[in-house]
Structure 1
């Protein structure tokens, strides 16, 4: 099965911040022109184009074009991959928008999101037993991975029916244990992501009452790169954009070539082609770079990141900050959110735009 572990546990946030302080490369080395780069990834449907591109020679093709070498590095634990990026051991990493904010950005690492790859369009959901009405969750125990996108989804779902997190009791449950927990007669509500979610929905009397499809565009999956490295090596951004859009274009094809590419990605993820296709069905891929640019430039992204940062701050994920505005974020067109003097997360559409304009 495909394992999707997009969570920002407090211990991981703190570890990431400490690693960034203790292990980061000297700023001069980070900002200098380089020839070799390491990009980390972990298993998730929307990120499987990266290892496939390496296997298929697409990474080498684009790296050679710009005279550089790119290593696509698998990290088995998602949070560890983000911590390694925060510590300077990786030049870039695949990450969800919430975790990009709460781990590297909150840890003081200047981070640029250069590819908005997809959003969860049903890969995450709230499930109840014995009811198909979200309002019936009131007063229930809800099992989920706390401080994760599941926690954020629960907050958004409750808000949609006039409730808050104070109306339920959350129980921290590891993603590996969530299916078993929901199978217990005592557990009546849970929040999970695929593939666990699809298994839970098949249990007797289970009903999905809210999903990420109800908040499209809010749970985003990104490729982020160290900002100083990117500034000194724009060819890295160009190569990565070229790799991404060539590979995603290939996997979107309806012919045998596309089918073979998706099957290869499924194998890399440890999934069957059918299971992988089912995950893609609830993943909105920005295969067209112009659509990704439009999404990055849209005011809705600032609205989304305001919600994400407010939730993250309320859960103590900003490392002791006294305000949700403590961490600054930059968006296309010179727009900012939070402290403009402390911008550590930047949504940079320039490389996606080069791909859209055919200028890579």
Structure 2
């Protein structure tokens, strides 16, 4: 997955939101029966490949008398812009991207399903440094404004290093691994699995920090427009029910789990070892009760405060944002971070709670 927050993508999202009538004052979506859900290739979303192939999604959609089309998108930013424009009803994103693309563009957006958080998949690495403290005054290569950028800032903050003292050099996710391997003068970088697997093989390279040291902060979620979910809660219920049925299979093991792993492996273009490596450093919420507990915890509000602070500091709230409070974020326990009169991002744990209570 291109876990990315580029300015160009943000402005494209703003334009699409305006064209789609997604800005404040738009009419609520009418109830409907046909829905589209999109995801891109990333370990946290790959159970959807099995949901589609196994018929589990169809079973749950049929239960609610609706149709849910699952689409594997090739372009991450493109899929988010399709969501903003109303061409798809839900999309899988790194949580930060949901805030800085649709929400910052004026689209009232809700998280209705959390799939996982990175628990070591995202890595800060170096050929020469012994600590991120050594990065002061140095170039660090990463995809700017992405979760890699966020991870670096959090690593520096934890070591008491001013992020402003480090120069970030933008490099695409498609280039970072090969460049790190082939260019001796490229000393420090931040990326994620599977890209980091070859990078860590470079002589002298060490892992200095990873996402397991900030548990829960790099989340993967599915978002929908708030009005669409309000008018069509059965869509979210069907997706949530299907998701936890699939995760139950993966957790239980056995023949069905092996079948699911094979589908995910094929869809990712990897092998069994590559899949396992990514599963090992991904914290899936295997039960809805666990997801609900996480989403409604006081710690979750602290995480979102950290995320929004980074996003504002990087200018990702757009030119009109005058403070970190410009965009309101309603977390699952009802707390609002920022402007209560301009809530554009909501963490909705309703469907996790219904699943946990056996009420789907």
Instruction: Report the TM-score, using the length of structure 2 for normalisation.
Output: 0.96
Q: Aligned partners of 1:88, 1:67: CA distance in 2, in Å?
A: 21
Secondary structure class of the residue paired with 2:358: coil
> Are 1:13 and 1:102, in contact at CA under 8 Å, matched by a contact in 2?
yes
Deviations 1:314-338 (A, max 9, x none): 1111111111111111122321111
Report the equivalent of 2:3: 6
Which residue number corresponds to residue 250 of structure 1?
249
- Check the 8 A contact 2:49/2:263 in 1, yes or no: no
CA distance in 2, matches of 1:170, 1:72: 37
Counterpart of 2:346?
346
Q: Which moved more, 1:273-282 or 1:145-154?
A: 273-282
Secondary structure, in 3 states, of the residue corresponding to 1:341?
helix
> Pick from 52, 73, 76: which aligns with 2:74?
76
RMSD over equivalenced CA pairs, Å: 1.3
User: Post-superposition shift, 1:24?
Assistant: 4.3
In the alignment, the residues of structure 2 paired with residue 73 and residue 254 of structure 1 have an alpha-carbon distance, to the nearest angstrom, of: 26
Shift in Å at residue 256 of structure 1? Answer: 2.3
Q: Report deviation, 1:135.
A: 1.7
CA shift for structure 1 position 302: 1.1
How do 1:167-246 residues align onto structure 2 when only pairs under 5 Å count? 167-183=165-181, 184-246=183-245
* Counterpart secondary structure, 1:334: coil
| 2:322 counterpart of 1:322 | yes
SS at match of 1:252: helix
SS at match of 1:70: strand
Contact 2:2 2:76 survives alignment (8 Å): yes
- Indicate the residue corresponding to 1:56 in structure 2: 54
- In structure 2, how many angstroms separate the alpha carbons of the residues matched to 1:27 and 1:323? 25
What per-residue deviation string (whole Å, max 9, x for no partner) do you get for residues 188-242 of structure 1?
1000011111221111100000000110000000011111111111111110110
- The aligned counterpart of 1:112 is 110
Structure 2 distance, partners of 1:134, 1:151, is 13
Match of 1:92 among 90, 99, 115: 90
Q: Which ranges of structure 1 fall in alignment gaps of 5 or more residues?
A: none
Is contact 1:52–1:268 with CA below 8 Å preserved after alignment? no
User: Residue in 2 aligned with 1:15?
Assistant: 12
The 1-side partners of 2:11 and 2:188 are apart by 30
2:143 to 124, 140, 145: 145
Following the alignment from structure 1 to structure 2, what is the Cα–Cα distance between the partners of residues 272 and 85? Answer: 31
Larger mean CA deviation between 117-126 and 30-39 belongs to 30-39
Q: Take 1:32 and 1:164, find their aligned partners in 2: how far apart are those partners? A: 49
Report the Cα offset of residue 252 of structure 1: 1.9
1:139-191 CA-partner distances (Å, limit 9, x unpaired): 21100000100000000000111112222111100001101221211011000
8 A Cα contact 1:253 1:259, kept in partner: no
In structure 2, list runs of 5 or more residues that go unmatched: none
Q: Which residue is 2:157 aligned to?
A: 159
SS in 2 for 1:326: coil
Aligned to 2:110, the other structure's residue is in SS state strand
**Is the deviation greater in 289-298 or in 250-259?**
250-259
- Whole-angstrom CA distance in 1 between matches of 2:253 and 2:49: 21
C-alpha displacement at 1:257, in angstroms? 1.8
The match for 2:44 is 46
Question: Could you tell me how far 1:137 is from its partner in structure 2?
Answer: 1.9
- Is residue 297–residue 333 contact of structure 2 (8 Å, CA) maintained in 1? no
**TM-score for both structures, normalised by structure 1:** 0.96
Equivalent residue pairs, number: 356
